[in-house]
Chain A
Amino acid sequence: MLEIDVSLSRGDFDLEVTFAAPTPGVTALFGRSGSGKTTVIDLIAGLLRPDRGRIALDDAVLHDTSRSYSLPPQRRAIGYVFQDPLLFPHFDVAGNLRYGQRRAQPRGTEAEFADAVELLGLGALLRRRPHELSGGERQRVALGRALLSRPRLLLLDEPLASLDAARRGELLPWFEALRDRHAIPIVYVSHEFEEVVRLASHVVLLEQGRVAAEGDVGRIAMVPELRAVIGPELAGSVVDGQVESTDPVTGLAQIRVGHSAITASGAGLRAGQAVRLQVLARDLVLATHKPMGLSVRNEIDGTIRAIVDDGPDAVLVEIDVGGPVLLARVTRPAASDLALAPGRRLWVLVKATSLRGHVHPRR
């Protein structure tokens, strides 16, 4: 468990943050820019000191103002991957990777070095200088450098933010591989909810230096505080499922979610894998009768659990589909024409191409 209870005032910015993140596991610190995300991980790393408070990781106290105790950053064994990779320009890639490894307690092994190089695909880059690398390669080196310092916790500060969309897509799988291979707890700072969905299991939602909501990703996806940040376009639910079968020709996968089998695009998935789906509220169509002759691959039957307001023009309908809950955004006229009300049975239609399953092992 990573426990934080701190406050800090800097000019016109006040931070007052309390949360507990499960370890191991990936905790996302999510929020708008300026909400205090980086400040929080700087506090965890020890690069900043709080005015008041306590930070503890498992059984080790890192900071406790009531006992005037603060472990210096170099003795915290907390790996930090900065937004800008901050590789040492006067060392080559191998030199950067070895920097933390040499200072680790106990010292890192050659096998670990080889493992990290293999895991992050750095073999061909070892003799290059940082300025000869692409943005994505630099971030992979920064990740390897932090990993090889044998951290008890890894802090990742928007490691994808400095990259364009295509590079981001290339880099995310490396982070997923890291999460699945190592049991190191991770705190991942992001303002892209899709990254959170793919990587994290626990979310701390920050808003103006305060924790606005905290919980597992599936639950936080449903709270209005999150929708206020990500906006109606990205509002939706996050559900966990299991791959039942895949079709190598079409790349489609059958994924068991609640009592239904959902068809989603799932290239690279294998039967039996635990996966996570982000189902956007705007992608769902509701029908009160079982429809016929549609190209839509998924007709999921469910029961309305609740209807909540979502702006002047629309409502969000929460639909129980046998355990998991989906969120559908429909206009107010549609809701009244269909006489939607809690308890009502209906069909949820969603195109397979709107859904993508991401491997997400459960701990």
Chain B
Amino acid sequence: MELEALRLSLYVALRSVLLGLPLAIVVAYPLSRSRFLGRTVLDAIVHLPLVLPPVAVGYVLLLVFGTRGTVGAWLESAFGIRLAFTSAGAALATAVMTFPLMVRAIRLSLEAIDPRLEDAARTLGAGPIDRFWTITLPLMAPGIVAGAIIAFAAGLGEFGAVITFASNIPGETRTLPLALYTALQSPGGDALAARLAGLSFLLGLSGLVLAEWVSRVLRRRIGR
């Protein structure tokens, strides 16, 4: 029971990070580097999952990606992909919830990079894509890695959005927090609930410590 929930949690959190990370990099860059119309709006949208009730996020996902939602129906008829009530859907819900955490960490590391370094690369003959791959991305690496680890650790425990959008299906979407909730609801589940809670504590703490350590090592490697 615990092992299955743990395995599922790890799997869902990992997929959510893989899903959200590229987009988080793409969004963090203009948020910290450019001044454009609608920047504040984009910033607010990115941060919305932090302030909304997770259940509301799950509900919106159901409306859009559910079997009768516009995108959900299309995905199912065109590709046979079903998100609602599947572990893929749990990963999507988790990705949306942890997205702001990733964007924030990446943005912080971007803001610590002197933009004149990119100017220096320009005068040395590097075009925009070249500059991004050789200068900006490597210097952002500590933030990207830290953001990914924090999002992963937070994703292990995502509850509201997952249960709303992907439901509580054993072996499919019953991750650690859902298993913990189920255990508390069932008579005689106290011991199981305590074990699951302990496991969650342990994972969360290791995630935070690991994120801090990795980003420190990386910062040292790039000499900052």
Q: In the assembly, what is the distance between CA of A84 and CA of B139, in Å? A: 18
- CB neighbours of A103 from chain B (8 A): 124-126, 130
Q: In the assembly, what is the distance between CA of A25 and CA of B139, in Å? A: 37
**B39 near A: Cβ within 8 Å?**
no
Which listed segment binds A: B55-63, B79-87, B111-119, B172-180? B111-119
**B127 near A: Cβ within 8 Å?**
yes
- CB neighbours of A77 from chain B (8 A): 125
Q: In the assembly, what is the distance between CA of A75 and CA of B126, in Å? A: 9
- CB neighbours of B120 from chain A (8 A): 80, 82, 86, 88
Q: In the assembly, what is the distance between CA of A131 and CA of B117, in Å? A: 15
Q: Are B121 and A89 in contact (CB under 8 A)?
A: no
Q: In the assembly, what is the distance between CA of A110 and CA of B130, in Å? A: 23
**B195 near A: Cβ within 8 Å?**
no
- CB neighbours of B221 from chain A (8 A): 90
- CB neighbours of B224 from chain A (8 A): 89, 131
**Number of interface residues, chain A, beta carbon within 8 A:** 30
- CB neighbours of A113 from chain B (8 A): none
Q: In the assembly, what is the distance between CA of A105 and CA of B223, in Å? A: 30
Q: Are B123 and A104 in contact (CB under 8 A)?
A: no
Q: Are B117 and A88 in contact (CB under 8 A)?
A: yes
Q: Is the interface of B mostly helix, strand, loop or mixed?
A: helix
Residues 107-150 of B, flagged 1 when their CB comes within 8 A of A and 0 if not, give: 00000001011011111111100100011001100000000000
In the complex where A84-B116, A129-B223, A131-B223 touch, is A90 in contact with B138 (Cβ < 8 A)? yes
Known: A74-B127, A80-B119, A89-B223. 19 other contacts (CB 8 A): A45-B123, A47-B122, A73-B122, A74-B122, A77-B125, A80-B120, A82-B120, A86-B117, A86-B120, A88-B117, A88-B135, A89-B222, A89-B224, A90-B139, A90-B221, A99-B124, A103-B126, A145-B124, A149-B125
The 7 closest A-B pairs by CB, nearest first: A103-B125, A100-B124, A90-B222, A80-B123, A89-B223, A131-B223, A73-B122
- CB neighbours of B125 from chain A (8 A): 74-75, 77, 100, 103-105, 149
Residues 187-224 of B, flagged 1 when their CB comes within 8 A of A and 0 if not, give: 00000000000000000000000000000000001111
Report 28 cross-chain contacts, Cβ distance below 8 Å, ordered by A residue. Answer: A46-B122, A47-B122, A73-B119, A73-B123, A74-B130, A76-B123, A77-B125, A78-B123, A79-B123, A80-B119, A80-B123, A84-B116, A86-B120, A88-B120, A89-B223, A89-B224, A90-B138, A90-B139, A90-B222, A99-B124, A99-B134, A100-B124, A103-B124, A103-B126, A104-B125, A130-B223, A131-B223, A149-B125
In the complex where A47-B119, A129-B223, A131-B223 touch, is A86 in contact with B124 (Cβ < 8 A)? no
Name the distance in Å between B153's Cβ and chain A's nearest Cβ: 26
Name the distance in Å between B114's Cβ and chain A's nearest Cβ: 7
Which B residues lie at the A interface, using CB under 8 A? 114, 116-117, 119-127, 130, 134-135, 138-139, 221-224
Q: Name B117's closest neighbour in chain A (CB-CB).
A: A86
Q: In the assembly, what is the distance between CA of A80 and CA of B117, in Å? A: 12
Q: Name B123's closest neighbour in chain A (CB-CB).
A: A80
Name the distance in Å between B28's Cβ and chain A's nearest Cβ: 19
Q: In the assembly, what is the distance between CA of A306 and CA of B138, in Å? A: 63
Q: Report which residue of B121, B125, B221 has the largest number of chain A beta carbons within 10 angstroms of its beta carbon.
A: B125
Q: Report which residue of A72, A73, A75, A80 has the largest number of chain B beta carbons within 10 angstroms of its beta carbon.
A: A73
- CB neighbours of A88 from chain B (8 A): 117, 120-121, 135
Q: In the assembly, what is the distance between CA of A82 and CA of B120, in Å? A: 8
- CB neighbours of A76 from chain B (8 A): 123
- CB neighbours of B130 from chain A (8 A): 74, 103
Select which of A86, A90, A145 is within 8 A of B223 by beta carbon.
Answer: A90
- CB neighbours of A90 from chain B (8 A): 138-139, 221-223
Q: Name A42's closest neighbour in chain B (CB-CB).
A: B119
Q: In the assembly, what is the distance between CA of A323 and CA of B120, in Å? A: 45
Q: In the assembly, what is the distance between CA of A46 and CA of B120, in Å? A: 12
Name the distance in Å between A158's Cβ and chain B's nearest Cβ: 14
Q: In the assembly, what is the distance between CA of A77 and CA of B139, in Å? A: 25
Name the distance in Å between B34's Cβ and chain A's nearest Cβ: 16
Q: Name A155's closest neighbour in chain B (CB-CB).
A: B123
Q: In the assembly, what is the distance between CA of A89 and CA of B224, in Å? A: 7
- CB neighbours of A149 from chain B (8 A): 123-125
**A279 near B: Cβ within 8 Å?**
no
Q: In the assembly, what is the distance between CA of A89 and CA of B223, in Å? A: 6
